[in-house]
Amino acid sequence: MTQPYTTRLRVRHYEMNARNELPMSALFRLFQETAMRVTRAAGFGVEWFVERQTVWVLRAMIVEHLRPIHYPDELDVASWLSDAGKIRVHREYLARDAASGEIVARGRGEWVHLNGKTMMPTRIPAEILARMQPNGVSAVPRLEPRAYPVPRAPVEYRTQRRVQRYETDGLQHVNNAVYVDWLEEALADAVAPFASVGRYLRVRRHDIEYAHAALPGDHVEIVVRLVGAGHCASAWQAQIYRGDALLVRDHITALWVTNDGKPIRGQS
C-alpha cells in the first residue's frame, strides 16, 4: 500500500466552534480517525494490536489548516507512510474539499510503536511495513515552521488547570487533540488585550511534540510566549508542564484576520 489511502469524512455540526468553523482539535481527530481506517484496511485493526499487546502513540504532529472548514462539508482525507524506521513511522495526511478538490488541510505525524505492558518502544512487525510501504512523499511542503522577526514587545501568558477524566483516551492519557484545545484557549487569553470586534487570531499551523502524558487529576501549567511577529502572522512558543516536567511543546503559527477571514495587520 504505497499509494495513499483515501477516506471520506463528513463534518458534523456538533464539531463547530463559536465561529461555526471546524476547530484545529477536530482536524487532529479526523486525521487520527483516518490513520485508524488505513491500518484496518491493511488488515491491522485494533484487535490485531490488542492480541499482540502493542500500541501506537503519537510523538509529534504538524498540522496546517489552510482555510476554514464548515458544516456540512465533506472531506476526502488521503494518508500514507512517507518513511519508516525500526520503531517509528511518519504518516502523512492531505484533506481536500470533496466538492471542489481544494486542499484545505495537511499534516504529518510521527507515530511510535510501543509494548503495551511496558510502554517502551518495540520493533514494528515486518508484515506491517510489507503491506504499508513508505513512498518518501511528504504532504507538508515546509517541515520547519516559518520564522518571523523578533517582536518589539514581549507577550507571555500563564494559566493552570486540573486534568479531567473525560479528557483521557483508552490509554488513560490525555488525548493528543485535547492538548490542542488547551493551548489554543491559552493563546486566545494571551491575545485578548489585542483582539477586537473586527478581528481575531486564527491558528494556521501547529508543530507539536508530545514528551510525556498528562493523567487524570494532574495539575498542569500552560505557558504561551510570543516569539515572532510579521505584518499579519505571529509565532508562539507554547509548553505544558507538570511541575518541572515538560509534557508538551508546541510552535503555533497564527494570522490576524478580519471577521470575514481577510488577513489584517497584527500586534508586533
| Beta strand ranges found along the chain (DSSP E) | 5-10, 54-65, 74-84, 88-97, 103-115, 156-162, 199-210, 219-229, 233-242, 245-258
pLDDT digits (tens, 9 = 90+) for 144-154: 999 999 999 89
Q: How far apart are the first and last CA of the chain?
A: 47
CATH code of the domain in which 77 resides: 3.10.129.10
Q: Give the mean pLDDT of 106-132.
A: 96
User: Considering the domain boundaries, does residue 141 fall inside one?
Assistant: no
Q: Compute the mean pLDDT over every residue in the chain, rounded to the nearest whole number.
A: 95
- Provide the pLDDT for residue 45: 93
139 within domain boundaries: no
Total domains present in the chain? 2
Asked if the structure places residue 146 within a domain, the reply is no
Residue-wise pLDDT tens digits, 57-115: 999 999 999 999 999 999 999 999 999 999 999 999 999 999 999 999 999 999 999 99
* Claim to verify: residue 127 and residue 223 sit in the same structural domain: no
Domain coverage including residue 220:
156-258
